[in-house]
Copies of this chain bind each other. A is one copy, B any other.
Amino acid sequence: MRLRAGVDLGGTKIQVVIVDDEHSVVGEARRPTPTSGGPEAVAEQIVQAVREAAATADVEPSELVGIGAGSPGAVDARAGTVAHARNLTGWEGVFPLGPTLTEAIGPPVHLANDVDVALDAELALGAAKPYSSIIGVWWGTGVGGGIILDGKRWDGRGAAGEIGHTVVRLNGAHCPCGRRGCLEAYAGRAAMETRARRLAKRKRTSLFAIMEKRGRTQLTSGVWAQALEEEDALALALLERAVAALGAGVASAVNLLDVEAVVIGGGLGTRLGQAYTERVSAAMAPHLFVPENPPAVHTAALGDLGGALGAALLVLDRGANTKAPPRQARASSSSR
């Protein structure tokens, strides 16, 4: 049995899966992402998580055919390095994640951008499977994206897919990226939290009470989802604003590329699920240039495991990925 590992390195958690030739998950582990100790501590935690997942699959880590890892930041697949992973504490410089993991575990390691691998997984195994042209919208801490054209990822000069930095309002809200009016400034979870904290000074909201009850220090997707269930007015208003921005930004991308399908994933996209996918689709409608022929709009089908499953695909796809140019820094748009 040829088993592969897939690692999804996120800002809050490290998710590992062990999969077989049929992409079935035969082992799994999840650990919190260390918030101190820099890239070395993160790498060590990944090593532990891979070992733990391998144990649940009853395989020696050294016997894995390969390990794929999706990471935020600027990934250089050829060199096996990750730089500027600003969502991860103390990861500003260039760190040789691939070689470090190979040295500790044994098998070859293949790296790629986290949003790219999640979209690749949806294309190979999930909601994007029936389509050959797709815009992926990874709605989470930021709003990341990916483009599939003619069945292949379109990387441009290495930095394509930044749908989160579509300007939806000239001179509009300040974006975590430092610019103004970006889609992410309205729909990214980080930007929404900043606004919620400001508005909470003069509006009633249960968002922060829910956060504390869950033992969180940030408004996670789960916190937002629960606030919506409780019909918290501020949460509803901020999500309405996010949906309006997503509708305009994604429709603009559709007007430009006229793709067959849009797949909405990421922490918030997955957590809020079909109901919000439908709301985004409805918010796109008034902006579509050919409204009688809208693209299909789907929620990412692989849920929380999409990133890790996509990372495991990197092991199969080694040739293609070692040829890929280094991806530009895109930490601010990471969806985790």
**CA–CA, A245 and B169, complex, Å:** 10
Asked whether, in the complex, the Cβ of B248 is within 8 Å of the Cβ of A147, the reply is no
Asked whether, in the complex, the Cβ of A252 is within 8 Å of the Cβ of B159, the reply is no
- The oligomer's copy count stands at 2
Per-position 1/0 for A136-152, Cβ under 8 A of B: 00000000010101000
Per-position 1/0 for A222-259, Cβ under 8 A of B: 00000000000000000000001100110111011111
Asked whether, in the complex, the Cβ of A156 is within 8 Å of the Cβ of B248, the reply is no
Q: Does A181 have its Cβ within 8 Å of any Cβ on chain B?
A: yes
**CA–CA, A330 and B293, complex, Å:** 14
Asked whether, in the complex, the Cβ of B256 is within 8 Å of the Cβ of A286, the reply is no
**CA–CA, A161 and B249, complex, Å:** 15
Smallest CB separation, A249 vs chain B (Å)? 7
Asked whether, in the complex, the Cβ of A159 is within 8 Å of the Cβ of B287, the reply is no
Asked whether, in the complex, the Cβ of B259 is within 8 Å of the Cβ of A289, the reply is no
Closest to A252 in B: B166
Asked whether, in the complex, the Cβ of A257 is within 8 Å of the Cβ of B169, the reply is no
Q: Does A262 have its Cβ within 8 Å of any Cβ on chain B?
A: no
Asked whether, in the complex, the Cβ of A168 is within 8 Å of the Cβ of B167, the reply is yes
Q: Return the 3 tightest CB-CB contacts between A and B, nearest first.
A: A156-B258, A160-B258, A167-B248
**A145, A258, A289, A328: most-surrounded residue (chain B CB, <10 A):** A289
Q: Please indicate the chain B residues that have their CB under 8 angstroms from the CB of A329 in the complex.
A: 290
Asked whether, in the complex, the Cβ of B157 is within 8 Å of the Cβ of A260, the reply is yes
Q: Please indicate the chain B residues that have their CB under 8 angstroms from the CB of A167 in the complex.
A: 168, 248-249, 251-252, 287
A177 interface neighbour in B160, B289, B328, B330, Cβ under 8 Å? B289
Given contacts A165-B287, A165-B289, contact A147 B257 (CB under 8 A): yes
